[in-house]
Amino acid sequence: MRQLLNTLFVTSEDIYLSLDGENVAANREKEVLARYPLHTLSGIIFFAYPGASPALMEACARRGVFLAFRTPRGKFLARACGEANGSVLLRREQYRWAGDPAQSCRAARSMVFGKLYNAYWSIERPRLDHGLRAEDARLDSYMGFLHRDCPGRSSLALDLMEELRPCMADRFVLTLVNNRVLKQADFDFRESGGVYLTDEARRAFLQRRQERKRETPTHPFLGEIIPWGLLTPSVTYPSIWSLEMRFNT
């Protein structure tokens, strides 16, 4: 069974990451503040500009640990990944499907059905007492079916996450608000109309998100107790496998 690995979030703007043997070293100026075993990480997300050493980036790419760089406010900047591989024939078939309205409708229909089911499940649960995956399968994450082509948007990644949004994103955020983990004072309202989380609120959000990933509900189809953090691959991988099977038939 897959292991639930950790995600390292770098929120301090003066932290630089480097490779120290098989560990990720967090450095402030010339002082090493902490070390994290690389084999326990699934990804590293920077909310700061100092970044990471080339040696660490190479080690992450070789081990399949994703690196994502964002502004302190969370806007996506870039990501680092290893050498691309996979089947060009699979991608070609994906493009053919995306250009065929009937085939696109078939794929989008199942995604909408899953979203409606999970939305219903999220509403009922209080009474009862609840990308990268595409590229791992060597599909083009920018060519979707439910979300049509838009420059710079990962449409297929959005497709695969759409049905999970009610139970994994919307419900989580509403829980934080209802439990007053996030309050009005935690939001920075700008004159331009933008609304941002404060630094302390962002840390609280990320901490609760990591705690949420360790909770263990029972998978509705597999019938197994599985951490929330593994529910995304357990759902998206079958979806991708289904797409691959359709492309290859």
Sorted by sequence, the CB contacts under 8 Å of residue 104 that are 6+ apart come out as: 97, 98, 145
Greater model confidence, 123 or 224: 224
Distance of alpha carbon 216 from its chain centroid, rounded? 18
pLDDT band at 236 (very low <50, low <70, confident <90, very high): very low
Q: Count how many domains the chain has.
A: 2
Q: What is the reported pTM?
A: 0.56
CA atoms within 13 A on the CB side of 120: 6
pLDDT band at 247 (very low <50, low <70, confident <90, very high): very low
State which of 24, 52, 80 marks the end of a domain.
80
d(CA 247, CA 12): 45
Backbone angles phi, psi at 152, to 5 degrees: 80, 5
Residues 243, 187, single domain; the answer is yes
- CATH number of the domain to which 75 belongs: 3.100.10.20
Residues 119, 209, single domain; the answer is yes
User: Mean of the pLDDT values across residues 83-112?
Assistant: 79
% of residues, the chain, pLDDT over 90: 10
Residues 69, 98, single domain; the answer is no
Comparing 17-21, 35-39, 222-226, 232-236, the range with the smallest average pLDDT is 232-236
Q: Is residue 1 a part of any domain in this protein?
A: no
Residues 51, 137, single domain; the answer is no
What is the per-residue pLDDT for 120?
67
Instruction: Provide the Cα torsion 108, 112, 114, 118; round to 10°.
Output: 160
- pLDDT exceeds cutoff 70 at 114: yes
Q: Is residue 11 a part of any domain in this protein?
A: yes
What is the per-residue pLDDT for 25?
94
- CATH number of the domain to which 165 belongs: 1.20.120.920
- pLDDT exceeds cutoff 80 at 57: yes
Give the structural domain span for 26. Answer: 6-80
pLDDT band at 33 (very low <50, low <70, confident <90, very high): very high
d(CA 56, CA 47): 17
Looking at mean pLDDT, say which of 34-43, 119-128, 150-159 comes out highest: 34-43
Residues 65, 143, single domain; the answer is no
* Residue count (the chain): 249
For the chain, the average pLDDT equals 77
Q: Is residue 136 a part of any domain in this protein?
A: yes
